[in-house]
Amino acid sequence: MTRDGSVWRETSTLRRMAQRRFDERPRRRQPGAGRPRKTTRTASGPVDAEIVGAAAHLFARHGIGATTMAQIAEAVGLEVSSIYYYFGSKHEVLERIVVDVNRVPLRIAADVQVEFPDATRRLHAFIRRDAAALCEFPFDFNEIHRLARDDRGNFTRYWADREQLLVEVEAIVRQGIADGEFRAADPALVALTILSNDEAVQNWYRSSTGGTAARLPPDEIGLFVADLMLRGMVVDVAVVDAARDDTASR
């Protein structure tokens, strides 16, 4: 085919159309950019963080299973399609929350290693702060456990963090037994019992309606649980009383 003027014009037109389609193709926005909102209110921060915050409150109010993506979108002031722009499903929103939440006990475990040289105060501080932090979460942590258990494929990070936390607590228990501070016991089983107990306490605290638990602040509950656990573990009970003043959050 000869390249006469008509062919060149046709080719140029096709190139311009192709370039226009390329320029107008959908591009993924950076986190926080967002899409047009249903409301005119101003975003207080990155859109994905707003979505996570709204979802956490809805999960606490309605339960995780009963909360829909449409409800989350309404709470943030976005179209439902915009929510899916940031998170592909409700489980992705939940996983983001869980990842953030798991950082709390892991950070506590790291902090007590630095703050205290002995296992008694390390473990007392960990239990005290962990139980209090769980009571302060805006949702029942046991709901997350159930979802993560039933959908392990979408919660791999969650379970990896859980295993790491178990390792950290077990190490404190091993130290206490080796140093003669704690009674002889299976360190792994003790660590698992401690974590399970902290998580059960937050459920007790959350479901209490007007009883003793409802009148106690989370830190007092954490202190009670730490005292109770350590008194059953230490060789010399007097060291628990000595540790109480040192293990509050700093």
Could you report the per-residue pLDDT of 16-51, keeping only the tens digit for each?
544 444 343 333 444 444 444 455 434 557 888 889
Identify the pLDDT of residue 205: 83
State how far Cα 241 lies from the chain centre.
32
How many CB atoms neighbour CB 213 within 10 A?
Answer: 16
Identify the pLDDT of residue 209: 58
Residue 89 region, left (φ>0) first, then alpha (ψ -120 to 50), else beta?
A: beta
Q: Which residue has the tokens 């299973």?
A: 65
Identify the pLDDT of residue 27: 39
Q: What is the C-alpha end-to-end distance of the chain, expressed in Å?
A: 82
Identify the pLDDT of residue 38: 53
Identify the pLDDT of residue 74: 93
Q: Which domains, from first to last, does the chain contain?
A: 29-88 (1.10.10.60), 95-244 (1.10.357.10)
Tallying the residues shown for the chain, one arrives at: 250
Q: Up-side HSE of residue 17: CA atoms within 13 Å toward CB?
A: 6
* DSSP structural state of residue 232: T
Q: Which residues of the chain have pLDDT under 50?
A: 1-4, 7-11, 13-15, 17-37, 40-42
Structure tokens at 196: 């399970």
